Chains A and B, each alone.
Chain A
């Protein structure tokens, strides 16, 4: 590849990124157009773009996302999330802060297993119902749930799309995430509950009469098809077991998710076309286009040049590098969508890690710093993550709009606090006691 091709790849990448950030055109169209452009300009070729995960479409990521979308699509029809949310609210006896705490925990746990947007789409309507019964403004609950979703999503390999990209690039397993990220994610959820107490308690007044309205809700009626629920939960349990048993079985997450999706469609006798309705084809196409655009940077040596310049610094000061990865990722992910951010930074990180001296954690700390920074940074602003945008849209439609600054002034506090806690965690676990 010549210098001309490298510059062409950089130019396309910058234009694509600028258009994604500006949100003037659909991000899928932009990514696909960018992929077409780098192919037409010969900055990459079909072999590199379609048949090499290092320089093109990472099919493991796409099929893992596809499989999980099908499983979640069927599960979301069972009413289990509505059941759990109302059950949790009733366990709280309609006490607003307890309800908020339960919803935060439920959202975080659900987000660890499902993608964040699906989680908030399921949790927000039931939250609006509960808030109406309690006579409380939904904004504190909805904002807290967005934070919980982004924090919970960091906990597992399948919790947030950036984690899937990172895992694929770094060769990290589901268990690696459970061992390294789940503990800090759990701690951050506890911290979030404390922050919510500080930020929102004044808006959460208790009214015994209204609380009785919550107790009158009939959560059992949310489940219309108990057989489908049983089948869905059984397949989800098998899929999670498949992820966890990767060291024994050897199947990559994408294969486990695909088999799980097929099994669920088969046993539930769901019409395949109905199961496919929940698949976000435009998101999958966005990923594919983005992989080709970023892959062109790898193919033309641009990523290698950037990484080479950074590797020496990272090798001499891994702690500083981890801090920069964590803080820088948090700041940038607060401003731009964390999916294109991670898709771009992951190959750079791969090169830097490959250049580090062997020993200690073999550079995994940089991957964890990137994961935590990208996922937690999404909480900083109202546009930091897809879940934030979706919730603000739902709130506006329900007649209880949440303004950009109403969200962001809380988001900045939560992001600063959670990133600071994550920094201490990384330091203690991988440097002080590593």
Chain B
């Protein structure tokens, strides 16, 4: 099997300007561990996992002094999600952003597995390289889970 056959063309994706709350809802509804973030040209830019979104909901003063989490009353603690309002996906991406690894459509599953393992990224974007950056076409995404699922099925 080749990467193009395993790539999920409907894998949820967002852009840098997508509201953070929308991205969070998409993550929850799709039951995924991360979303593919596309740049202005539609090229894979980053992966947005749950962690950075959750981090944005935690006030900076608690990150600086975790003991303060204990003093905040339950009513206020329950409203943390509102902190995502007004933020975009761009605001939530960690400073040390890593672009997702890109597989070619003809890559074998071993090549895709090697990419995922080497990059420690839960997703691989499958891109059909055209002439120049504008010619690139995103065929879909292969997630770590999807790949493992396929390998286990094939083995049994």
A interface residues with partner B (beta carbon < 8 Å): 79, 82, 86, 121-122, 124-126, 128-129, 132, 213, 216-219, 221-222, 224, 394, 397-399
Contact = CB atoms under 8 A, between A and B. Distances in A.
21 contacts: A79-B70, A82-B65, A82-B67, A125-B60, A125-B61, A125-B62, A125-B68, A128-B60, A128-B64, A129-B59, A129-B68, A132-B61, A217-B71, A217-B73, A218-B70, A221-B70, A222-B70, A222-B71, A224-B70, A394-B64, A399-B60
A397 B60 contact: yes
Contacts of A394: 64
B156 interface: no
B91 to A, nearest CB: 10
B76 interface: yes
Nearest to B73: A216
A126 B68 contact: yes
Give the 10 A-B residue pairs with the shortest CB-CB distance, closest first. A125-B65, A125-B61, A128-B61, A398-B60, A221-B70, A125-B64, A216-B73, A79-B67, A129-B61, A217-B71
Contact of A221 (B60, B61, B62, B71): B71
Interface residues of B, number: 14
Contacts of A125: 60-62, 64-65, 68
Contacts of A216: 73, 75-76
Contacts, number: 60
B85 interface: no
B72 interface: yes
Interface string B37-75: 000000000000000000000011110110110111101
A125 B60 CA distance: 8
A126 B61 contact: yes
Given A128-B60, A129-B59, A399-B60, A122 B71 contact: no
Interface string B6-25: 00000000000000000000
Among A129, A213, A218, A222, the most chain B Cβ lie within 10 Å of the Cβ of A129
A17 to B, nearest CB: 32
A401 B59 CA distance: 15
A129 B72 contact: yes
B145 to A, nearest CB: 34
Contact of A128 (B59, B67, B70, B73): B59
B65 A218 contact: no
Contacts of A213: 76
A152 to B, nearest CB: 20
A237 B124 CA distance: 59
B59 A132 contact: yes
A217 B62 CA distance: 14
Nearest to B70: A221
Contacts of A399: 60
Nearest to B91: A399
Given A129-B61, A132-B61, 17 more contacts: A82-B68, A82-B71, A121-B64, A124-B64, A125-B62, A128-B61, A128-B64, A129-B59, A129-B62, A213-B76, A216-B75, A216-B76, A217-B71, A218-B71, A218-B72, A222-B67, A399-B60
